[in-house]
Structure 1
Amino acid sequence: MPTAQSGDRVQVHYVKRFEDGSVVSSRKRAPLEMTIGVNDPRLPGLGLALVGLAPGACTTVRVPAEHAYGPSDPTRIRRWARTRFPKDQPLPIGQWVRVSNSQGRQRLVRILKVQGPMVVVDTNHRKAGQALELEVELLGIKVPKPRVEAQGP
């Protein structure tokens, strides 16, 4: 039975979880098709884990935080003026809120502390600093066809 190799196009079912077991995303109903060896930022470390597996095989992959959504960066904790938020917007401590910049682009920040006219926010990705676990089933393999070199006259 053939096993998956780098460059193969494969179909997988997966469940992506945080280490506490909470599900981040899942492709149990509709398989994901991907090429082994092509980095997919949604599923870091998955390609290497599939090499050598045969269709029908299952595996679990632990992805450390630095290869998942990155480590939490303390330099991304900022002090912003309360005026950066709409006057009527509640700022509950520990909650993620949407903020618009001067160009109108929105981003999520976590409210850490409100100190009078200043708000301390965490601008890290909301999943930064968290390791992931990928539970994967290899459904099928499409081996790439070898290239045929053009023959000269």
Structure 2
Amino acid sequence: MAAANGDTVRVHYTGKLSDGTVFDSSANGEPIAFAVGSQTVIPGFEQEVVGMEPGESKTFTIPSEQAYGEHDPRLVQEVPRTELPAELEIQLGMRLTATAQDGREIPLVVTEMSDEAVRLDANHPLAGKDLTFEIELVSVD
């Protein structure tokens, strides 16, 4: 039975960047499960599963605009260290969370640091990157 819109599927996957770096994989765990059409995974991934049958494997690349979007320079800002909690030991690559005025939490990554300021990036870590997936459809319900 081929996967169609509305079906719940279970998929094993390995996601790689264009340089071959693996950014995520279900290889040592359980396959991911999602309803096709529910928009719980990136659209390009969901579209590739449609029409596959259990046991079938494929490799495909999703351009950044169909994955996590382009990197938006407006989501990067420099913040004076004086605006951050004094007890916070900032490190490059550190993940922080800010709270928006409407209460939403905004994930941030420290991308640059100086003695005076810290550069914070609110883009998704995979924004601006084309993603290659190797997948195997495990089941269709």
Q: What TM-score range do you get, normalising by the shorter chain?
A: 0.7 to 0.9
- Write the deviation string for residues 105-127 of structure 1: whole angstroms up to 9, x where unpaired: 6743323353x644443332222
Question: Equivalent residue of 1:45, what SS?
Answer: helix
Q: Which residue of 1 aligns with 2:134?
A: 135
Q: Is 1:80 aligned with 2:88?
A: no
What is the aligned partner in structure 2 of residue 34 from structure 1? 34
Distance 1:8 1:111 in 2: 40
Distance 1:12 1:21 in 2: 20
CA distance in 2, matches of 1:9, 1:27: 17
Q: Give 1:4's aligned residue.
A: 3
The normalised TM-score by structure 2 is 0.75
CA distance in 2, matches of 1:56, 1:112: 45
Identity of aligned pairs, percent?
A: 31
Instruction: Tell me the TM-score normalized by structure 1.
Output: 0.70
Shift of 1:133: 1.4
Gaps of 5+ in 1: 143-153
> Residues 14 and 135 of structure 2 are in contact (CA less than 8 Å); yes or no, is this contact kept in structure 1?
yes
| Superposition pairs of residues 34-53 of structure 1, within 5 angstroms | 34-41=34-41, 43-53=42-52
Task: State whether structure 2 residue 94 is matched by structure 1 residue 96.
Answer: yes
Do the aligned partners of residues 111 and 90 (structure 1) sit closer, same or farther apart at CA in structure 2, a change above 3 Å counting? farther
Unaligned runs of 5+ in 2: none
Counterparts in 2 of 1:60-75, with a 5 A limit? 60-75=59-74
Letter in 2 for 1:58: S
CA contact (8 A) 1:17 1:24 kept: yes
C-alpha distance in 2, partners of 1:34/1:9?
Answer: 5
With over 3 angstroms needed to count, the CA separation of the structure-2 counterparts of 1:23 and 1:82, relative to structure 1, is: same
